[in-house]
Amino acid sequence: MEQLDSEVPLAPPIHTVAVLYNLKKGIAAKAPDAEAEYDKIDTVHAIRDALESGGLSVTLLEADEGLPGLISHERPDIAFNIAEGLSGRGREGQVPSLLSMLGIPFTGSDATTLCIALDKALTKRVLWTHRVRTPHYEVVEPGKTRLTKALSFPVIVKPNCEGSSKGIGAVSIAEDRKALSEILRRNHELYEGEMLVEEYVEGREFTVGILGNFASARVFPPMEIVFRQPTEGAHTVYSYPVKQDYTRYVRYECPANLTEEQTREITDMARRAFNALNCRDFARVDFRMGADGKMYFIEINPLPGLAPGYSDYPMLAQFSGVGYRELVRGVLDAAAKRLGRSVDWREL
């Protein structure tokens, strides 16, 4: 007898979770921020604790060369992915690609989205077609120190395929072509990759967090990064050194002091960027407001940091009344709902 659709058994609730991560090792490298994107073990433990306190069985797996064998053996119901990958332009897609090949569901965006979003210039080209305003820019290949486009100075220089403000150091803004050549020469030597040269937007800085998927995705109120003082000459840059000592250089305001129209514009642009790149479950989008009062997209991070008390994403969620444990569980719930599953929460 043919089984009716209503009688098709539902997938069992999610109970076992593997947290996948890359750790800071303190390995010596040419660039002082070589491990900027990697996590400290405290962050991994915080995510584990948030999940285990809800009755889930959690395994911690470092995303190194041994991961394929380990994850195949564990076969968790789902992987909670915060791994950045080991090397290369497509490194953030390494772990999601492996999981997709093995048929193991996971939180967050897939390999295609993560690879596109890590490439800042490619992201800008995609989002420009979706009416997301962004500063003019040019990509400069290794060995080259001159522009072919007519950009307006000052410009900011950053590695095209890095995250966590990696490569945005003590000197990243060029006021003229001579200074630009010097920064490009130094950065090409340190990071050995393409550099994004972007017209610097002098103005206020904001970040917007998104949790969930599709029409039900929650867009948190914009958080402003308010600079206490200039950080580079007469300019402000949310650089890696600033983030390392953020209490000295910045304070955070959420919700940001914006008009209804400005808030609507920035949240709409964030949602459009999220959807255009097919982001999943959670992401953070960064903006600057120009002198003209308009919002300019800077970049999107579909794998935002989850370090409690440090990363911007849990910070802006906290301002909106979403605590760390609730946020971590919210990411898992979003993935489960997207997959047509539920999570076997049992408060301990």
Q: Which of 173, 199, 225 is the last residue of a domain?
A: 199
32 and 152 inside one domain = no
157 and 213 inside one domain: no
Angle between helices 94-102 and 67-74 (to 10 degrees): 40
Average pLDDT estimate for 127-146: 95
Residue type, 235: H
Q: 199, 232, 253 — which closes off a domain?
A: 199
In a domain, 327, yes or no: no
Q: How far apart are CA 5 and CA 2, in angstroms?
A: 9
Judge whether 328 and 50 are in contact, CB under 8 Å.
yes
Angle in degrees, CA 246, 195, 198, rounded to 5:
70
Each residue's pLDDT tens digit, 276-329: 999 999 999 999 999 989 999 999 999 999 999 999 999 999 999 999 999 999
Residue labelled with tokens 């098709």: 8
For tokens 């990243």, what's the residue?
172
pLDDT score at 1:
38
Q: Would you state the structure tokens that stand for residue 185, as one six-digit string?
A: 């020469």
pLDDT in tens, 200-253: 999 999 999 999 999 999 999 999 999 999 999 889 999 888 988 899 999 999
Are 218 and 281 in the same domain? yes
**β-pair type (16-21, 78-81):** parallel
pLDDT of residue 5: 44
- pLDDT of res. 6: 47
* Number of domains composing the chain: 3
- pLDDT of res. 28: 67
List the domain range (segments joined by +) for residue 90: 5-107+333-338
Q: 212 is written with which tokens?
A: 């969930």
Q: Assign residue 95 the CATH number of its domain.
A: 3.40.50.20
Rounded Cα distance, 110 and 35, in Å: 22
Residue 29 and residue 88 share a domain: yes
pLDDT in tens, 146-164: 998 899 999 999 999 988 6
Cβ atoms of 176 and 193 closer than 8 Å: no
* Integer Cα distance of 254 and 323 in angstroms: 14
Work out the mean pLDDT of the chain and round it to a whole number: 93
Among 2-6, 50-54, 258-262, 288-292, the least confident range = 2-6
Are 127 and 252 within one domain? yes
Could you read off the pLDDT of 187-214 as tens digits, one per residue? 999 988 999 999 999 999 999 999 999 9
The dihedrals phi and psi of 97, each to the nearest 5 degrees, come to -65, -45
What does DSSP assign to residue 88? S
List pLDDT tens digits, range 72-100.
999 999 999 999 999 888 999 999 999 99
Nearest by Cα to 288 from 185, 160, 200: 200
Enumerate the β-bridge partners of residue 80.
19
Query: 125 and 208 in one domain?
Result: yes
Is the same domain home to 91 and 37? Answer: yes
pLDDT at 4 > cutoff 80: no
Residue-level pLDDT at 306? 98
pLDDT at 60 over 60: yes
> Of the candidates 199, 230, 250, which is a domain's last residue?
199
For residue 245, give the CATH number of its domain: 3.30.470.20
- Residue with more model confidence, 9 or 267: 267
